[in-house]
Amino acid sequence: MFIRPMFRLVKDGTRINFMNGRFAGLIVSAILSTASIVLFFTPGLTLGIDFKGGIVIEARTPEPADIAKIRTAIAAQGVREAGVQRFGEVNSVAIRLDAPPTEAATQQLVGRVRAALEAAQPGTRLVRTDAVGASVSSELFHDGMMALGLSLLMILVYIWFRFEWQFAVGAVVTLVLDLTKAIGFLVLTHLEFDLVMVGAILTILGYSTNDKVVVYDRMRENLRKYKSMPLRELIDLSINETLNRTLGTSMTVFLASLPLALFGGTSLSAFAWCMLFGIVVGTSSSIFIAAPILLFLGEHRLRRDAVAPEAAKPVKQ
Amino acid sequence: MMYFSRLKTWMVIGACLLGVLFSVPNLVPAPGDFALWRTIHLGLDLRGGSYLLLEVDMAAVIKERLESLGDSARSTLRRAGVNQFVVSTQPAQNRLMVRLGDQTNQDKALAALRELATVSTTLPGARPDLDVSVTPEGPISVVLSPVALKERAGNAVQQSIEIVRRRIDETGVVDPQITRQGESRIVVQLPGVEDPNRIKQLLGKTARMTFRLTDETANPSNPTAPPGVEFLAMEGRGGGKIAVRRRVEVDGATLTDARAGQNNQTGEWVVNFTFNSEGTRRFAEISRNNVGHPFAIVLDDKVISAPVIREAITGGRGQISGSFDARSATDLAVLLRAGALPAPLTVVEERSVGPELGADAIRAGGIALACGFLLVMVYMAFFYGLFGWFANLALLANLFLMTAILSLMEATLTLPGMAGILLTLGMAVDYNILINERIREESHNGRTPLNAMEAGFQRAYSTIIDSSATAFLAHVMLFAFGAGPVRGFAVTITVGIVTSLFTATMLARLCMVRWYAAQRPSVLPV
């Protein structure tokens, strides 16, 4: 362990015919993504208050919290839908309220709930208050989506610039598929979609792109190196050659995110779970989605020069 | 690739040592006043505190501008000899409509109204701030130019920031940060303030105080007030309404000081104030001419008190007594000292975190960071042996360099920022993995050790550049468009990408070169 490596993830000279599974990969991916899109519309994402607007209060009561009493006290403030939950310890309560239509009303509501809590259980302290008005939340949502969209665009432009267009299309189609799956994951797990989650999704996209770029890089190199190898074989070779790196990096990012998911605290663990899912999706999509797309798009075009030697082969024999 | 000149070697080592050096201020208190003794600031989500996003009510700014414009329009028209007219404001269209009773006066009126316009000297391509024209339907419209309006709105926000700062300073909050955001918003960050309620109350008042005469002939129970008079609510005990003249005799802006105190005889809470010289002169004049009549002290369209003037007040001092207690008297004094806001402020976003919750977050984040770091290092050691240790050394240097750069930037570390550091560490070893795998491949292809290392670095380079550039671009976008804590995340990641590039390609390479020079191995341990 100090001088020589002790393990290898994949044995040297491994040659798995990934492209045999190209249809299976694409079909599974298409099914998952379609299901995710359906989930996105019903039941839809659990929006955090950043994007939905509303009030989240975390309070600590001097004695064990009397949930029923607190619920009645808050209901007395004329709130339509209030979520009151115990939060971790016995004297900790989380209260969630929908945003009233105007910003001023939101602020008044915070004040009233504060007073109601104090009246219900004197000595209660609000350890966290987040109140986001309706108009601000829609702006935050707009900005978040803008950041996501522009990042995708930048990635497309960059890859287009550095590789041939088939690579760029392959990468961006794969990223969009990854993105939909991440959204499906968020819907299923009820993890809140908020600003931090946009950061997580962007990181997943960045990571996934990174993975694709490494495999693409090898393909480009092999395209120059093996002038006459059929594209399908070449793609398989490139994936196999970079497999140790692909899986290795996934492992390190996975290992770095795991402690965060397990004991990073409420908001960071949601972020980290999303990351962990994204790592698995991003790694597998490099192999099973991005590569087959490239194979379909590039079958004839990327191998234009190769056609001649191949046609010439039988003559030589 | 595999040659390091003495200078280059020392530069790499020097950079890493500087990284350690500039990380130190985060751990020990400043021994003196050094310019470069900079630290990472903890975000409010980690140290506890309140974040308030305030919006300046721009509609009110425009409305007030139109109203004062309407007043000046009325008086200029009268001075010009135009007597029959109706002036109405249309805030939605940013304009004033003047309907003349006698159309023959139109030219005279137009000339008079055009004189109201001022040509701004601060704006390029100076144009009058008003556009006076005759509408096809007949009335004259006076439109505020968008440029002038924008300038006015900008000034209103700037002025509001100043007033907000003064009010918050009065409350004794340590180290508040008040900054402008976008066109009409103000961000207020209050470290250590767990319950921002008092501050929200202080900021929620415009606190425009005026001294005006009352109209004793008008009956406040009538549905409409006579022209130039309005019915305002009385604050406190009695309630009810009182007829107050619209004309402002003395403005609260002429106050130089205001202090809460107790009346010697009755013991009730009062606010004592002092006028500046202009206020003193105006107040003396009004009180001399109106002995025996009540005058109203109006704060934000509510009458605080309406005492009867017993004698001319020439000393420039006065006292407001109303239904105050110690707290409300102090608050009013604070508001009067700080001055009036040019427009009402609304809190549109509030985030407060108690200090113990912040401490919990730091602890959880710290443990996660330490565990993640350890796991990655163990992985690298197991899977890459000696070259893995070189990567680990690079990782450690990376952590110091990141800390140093974030400190020098005086960046704010937020909870998502901590996640960013962890992810950077996970991804930083990616570069080493790429390089190590490549070296291994080249070595297996039959190259000599030095040759394999050389080729490994060379070939891995283009891949590293491509992968870091895409990640870099994605996070720059996040920084540009993201808000609040996510920007902290984007900052740590972008800084991390740059430092990772340096440590993975330079430091790890240097280690390999020195090791090779010392050992001259015939086979690489890959």
B462 touches chain A (CB under 8 A): yes
* Mean pLDDT confidence for B366-380: 92
B464 CB neighbours in chain A (<8 A) are none
Apex B469 CA angle, B442 and B22, nearest 5: 95
Statement to judge: residues B428 and B341 lie in one domain = no
Tell me which residue of B2, B487, B446, B138 sits closest to A202, measured CA to CA. Answer: B487
Chain B, residues 427-446, CB within 8 A of chain A, namely: 427, 429-430, 433-434, 437, 441, 444
- The amino acid that residue B203 corresponds to is L
B449 touches chain A (CB under 8 A): no
- Read off the pLDDT band of A308 (50, 70, 90): very low
Residue B264, Cβ neighbours under 10 Å: how many? 7
Hey, are the CB atoms on A125 and B53 less than 8 Å from each other? no
Statement to judge: residues B429 and B511 lie in one domain = yes
Minimum Cα–Cα distance from B427: chain A residue: A253
Q: What is the ipTM of this complex?
A: 0.87
Chain B, residues 31-70, CB within 8 A of chain A, namely: 53, 55
Domain boundary at B99, B121, B144, which? B144
Apex B101 CA angle, B98 and B105, nearest 5: 80
pLDDT at residue B322, rounded to an integer: 78
Residue B422 has pLDDT above 80, yes or no: yes
Statement to judge: residues B362 and B485 lie in one domain = yes
* Mean pLDDT confidence for B395-409: 94
Statement to judge: residues B67 and B103 lie in one domain = yes
Q: What is the DSSP letter of A76?
A: T
Phi first, then psi: give them for residue B84, nearest 5 degrees.
Answer: -100, 110
Please indicate, yes or no, if residue B193 is contained in any of the structural domains.
no
What CATH number does residue B399 fall under? 1.20.1640.10
Please indicate, yes or no, if residue B183 is contained in any of the structural domains.
no
Statement to judge: residues B344 and B358 lie in one domain = no
Distance from CA of B171 to the nearest CA of A (A): 20
Hey, are the CB atoms on B474 and A129 less than 8 Å from each other? no
Statement to judge: residues B257 and B335 lie in one domain = yes
* Mean pLDDT confidence for A141-146: 86
A255 CB neighbours in chain B (<8 A) are 372, 375-376, 379, 426
What CATH number does residue B114 fall under? 3.30.1360
- Read off the pLDDT band of B194 (50, 70, 90): confident
Statement to judge: residues B398 and B368 lie in one domain = yes
A161 CB neighbours in chain B (<8 A) are none
Distance from CA of A44 to the nearest CA of B (A): 23
The rounded distance, in Å, linking the Cα atoms of B249 and B246 is 9
| Percent of chain B's residues with pLDDT above 70 | 97
The rounded distance, in Å, linking the Cα atoms of A228 and A226 is 6
Distance from CA of B147 to the nearest CA of A (A): 25
Question: Three-class SS of residue B347?
Answer: strand
Q: What is the DSSP letter of B214?
A: B
CB B201 within 8 A of CB B289: no
Apex B435 CA angle, B431 and B436, nearest 5: 115
pLDDT at residue B521, rounded to an integer: 86
Parent domain of B96: 60-144
What is chain A's mean pLDDT, rounded? 85
Is the N-terminal amide bond of A43 cis, ω within 30° of 0?
yes
The rounded distance, in Å, linking the Cα atoms of B488 and B482 is 9
The predicted-structure confidence for A15-72, as pLDDT tens digits, reads as follows: 889 888 889 999 999 999 999 999 999 888 988 888 888 888 888 888 888 888 888 8
| Percent of chain B's residues with pLDDT above 90 | 22
Hey, are the CB atoms on A154 and B469 less than 8 Å from each other? no
What is chain B's mean pLDDT, rounded? 86
pTM of the model: 0.81
CB A96 within 8 A of CB A83: yes
What kind and span of H or E run contains B146?
helix B146-170
User: What domains can you pick out in chain A, each with its CATH number?
Assistant: 18-47+137-306 (1.20.1640.10), 54-132 (3.30.70.3400)
pLDDT at residue A317, rounded to an integer: 39
B465 touches chain A (CB under 8 A): no
pLDDT at residue B135, rounded to an integer: 81
pLDDT at residue B104, rounded to an integer: 79
Residue B191 has pLDDT above 50, yes or no: yes
The rounded distance, in Å, linking the Cα atoms of A157 and A172 is 10
- Read off the pLDDT band of A302 (50, 70, 90): low
pLDDT at residue B123, rounded to an integer: 53
The rounded distance, in Å, linking the Cα atoms of A167 and A160 is 7
Residue A299 has pLDDT above 80, yes or no: no
Total domains in chain B come to: 3
pLDDT at residue B124, rounded to an integer: 57
Residue A313 has pLDDT above 50, yes or no: no
